Amino acid sequence: MNDLIPLLPKLWQASYETLYIVGLSLIFGGLGGLILGLGLYTTRSNSLFSNRPVFGVLNVLVNVFRPIPFIIFLAAAQPLARFVTGTGIGNTAIIFTLSLAAAFGISRIVEQNLLTVQPGVIEAARSVGASRSRIMLTLLIPEALGPLILGYTFIVVALVDMSAVAGYVGGGGLGTFAIQYGYRQFHPVVTWAAVLVIIVIVQLVQFLGNYLARKALRR
Amino acid sequence: MPLISLRDVTKSYPPSRRGGDVVHAVEGLDLDIEAGDIYGIIGYSGAGKSTLVRLINALEHATSGSILVDGDEVTRMKESELRRLRLGIGMIFQQFNLFNSKTVAGNVAYPLEVAKTPRADIAPRMAELLDFVGLSDKARNYPEQLSGGQKQRVGIARALATSPRILLADEATSALDPETTHEVLELLKRVNTEFGVTIVVITHEMDVIQTLATKVAVMDGGRIVEQGDVFDVFSKPTEASSQRFVSTVVRGVPSDAELVALRQRHPGRIVTLSFRDGNTSQGAVFSDLAQAGVAFELIYGGINDIRGRVFGHLTLALTGHDDAVDRALVTIANKVDVTEAPSHE
Is there a single domain that holds both residue B140 and residue B288?
no
Number of structural domains found in chain A: 1
- The verdict on residue B119 lying in a domain is yes
* Cα separation values, B119 from A67, B126, B159, Å: 49, 11, 19
Has residue A54 been placed in a domain?
A: yes
B338 touching chain A per CB within 8 A: no
**Residues B159, A128: C-beta atoms closer than 8 Å:** yes
DSSP string, B76-97: G--HHHHHHHHHTEEEEETT--
Q: How many domains does chain B have?
A: 2
Rounded (5°) CA angle B88-B93-B99: 85
Residue B26 lies in a domain: yes
Query: A-chain residues within 8 Å CB-CB of B93?
Result: 120, 123-124
Assess contact for A190 and A141: CB atoms under 8 A: no
| Cα B231 to Cα B208, B264, B311, B333, distances in angstroms | 13, 33, 8, 21
Cα B151–chain centre separation: 21
CB–CB contact B111 A124 (8 Å): no
Any domain includes A188: no
Determine, yes or no, domain membership for B217.
yes
Q: Cβ of B114 and A134 within 8 Å?
A: yes
Residue B22 lies in a domain: yes
Do B16 and B59 fall into the same domain?
Answer: yes
Give the phi and the psi of residue A218 in degrees, each rounded to 5: 55, 40
Task: Establish if B136 belongs to a structural domain.
Answer: yes
Residue B26 and residue B132 in one domain? yes
Residue B345: inside a domain, yes or no?
no
A99 lies in a domain? yes
A136 CB within 8 Å of a chain B CB: no
In a domain, B310, yes or no: yes
Asked whether residue B177 falls in the same domain as residue B81, the answer is yes
Does the residue A216 lie in any domain?
no
The verdict on B154 and B277 lying in the same domain is no
Which residues in B38-150 belong to E strands, given as ranges?
38-43, 64-69, 72-73, 89-93
User: Which 3-state string (H, E, C) describes B300-335?
Assistant: EEEEEEECCEEEEEEEEEEECCHHHHHHHHHHHHCC
Q: Using the beta-carbon criterion (under 8 Å), do A128 and B100 form an inter-chain contact?
A: no
Q: Are A128 and B87 an interchain contact pair (Cβ–Cβ within 8 Å)?
A: yes
Residues B61 and B123 in one domain: yes
Does B139 lie in the same domain as B15?
Answer: yes
Same domain assignment for residues B46 and B141: yes
Looking at residue B325, what is its pLDDT? 87
Quick one: angle between helices B148-160 and B104-114, nearest 10?
20
Q: Answer whether residue A217 is part of any domain.
A: no
Tens-digit pLDDT string for chain B (345 aa): 899 999 999 999 888 777 788 888 999 999 999 999 999 999 888 888 999 999 999 999 999 999 999 999 999 999 999 999 999 999 999 999 999 999 999 999 999 999 999 999 999 999 999 999 999 999 999 999 999 999 999 999 999 999 999 999 999 999 999 999 999 999 999 999 999 999 999 998 888 998 899 999 999 989 999 999 998 898 888 888 888 888 887 878 888 888 888 888 888 889 888 888 766 678 888 888 888 888 888 999 988 888 788 888 899 998 888 888 888 888 888 888 888 887 754
Q: Is the separation of the CB atoms in A21 and A173 below 8 Å?
A: yes
- Structural domain of residue B279, as residue ranges? 256-340
Are A118 and B95 within 8 A, CB to CB? yes
Same domain, B303 and B222: no
Domain contains A13: no
Distance from CA of A143 to the nearest CA of B (A): 5
Partners of residue B114 in chain A, C-beta under 8 Å = 128-130, 134
| Residue B113 sits in the same domain as residue B162 | yes
Q: The CATH number of the domain where A59 resides is what?
A: 1.10.3720.10
Q: Which of B59, B99, B161 is the closest to A143 by Cβ?
A: B99
On chain B, the residues whose CB falls within 8 A of the CB of A125 are: 99, 110
- Choose the final residue of a domain: B249, B267, B282: B249
Residue by residue, DSSP assigns B192-245 as HHHH--EEEEEES-HHHHHHH-SEEEEEETTEEEEEEEHHHHHHS--SHHHHHH
Interface contact B57, partner A, CB < 8 A: yes
Q: Evaluate whether residue B18 is within a structural domain.
A: yes
With an 8 Å Cβ cutoff, are B83 and A118 in contact? no
The pLDDT value recorded for residue B281 is 76
pTM of the predicted protein model:
0.87
Q: How much is the pLDDT for B4? A: 96
In CATH, what number is assigned to the domain containing residue B25? Answer: 3.40.50.300
Q: Are residues B145 and B199 in the same domain?
A: yes
Domain range spanning residue A151? 20-171
Interface contact flag, A123 B93, Cβ < 8 Å: yes
Task: Examine residue A219 and state whether it is found in any structural domain, yes or no.
Answer: no
- H or E segment to which residue B9 belongs: strand B4-13
Q: Are residues B31 and B72 in the same domain?
A: yes
Q: Does B174 touch chain A (CB under 8 A)?
A: no
| Intra-chain end-to-end CA distance of chain B, in Å | 54
Q: Which pLDDT score, from 0 to 100, does residue A219 have?
A: 66
Any A CB within 8 A of B237 CB: no
Is A218 in Cβ contact with B142 (below 8 Å)? yes
pLDDT digits (tens, 9 = 90+) for A116-169: 999 999 999 999 999 999 999 999 999 999 999 999 999 999 999 999 999 899
Q: Quick one: which of A161, A33, A174 has its CA closest to A99?
A: A33
A153: left (phi over 0), alpha (psi -120 to 50) or beta: alpha
Q: What's the gap in Å between the CA of B143 and the closest CA on chain A?
A: 11
**Domain-embedded: residue A92:** yes
Is B129 part of the contact surface with chain A (CB cutoff 8 Å)? no
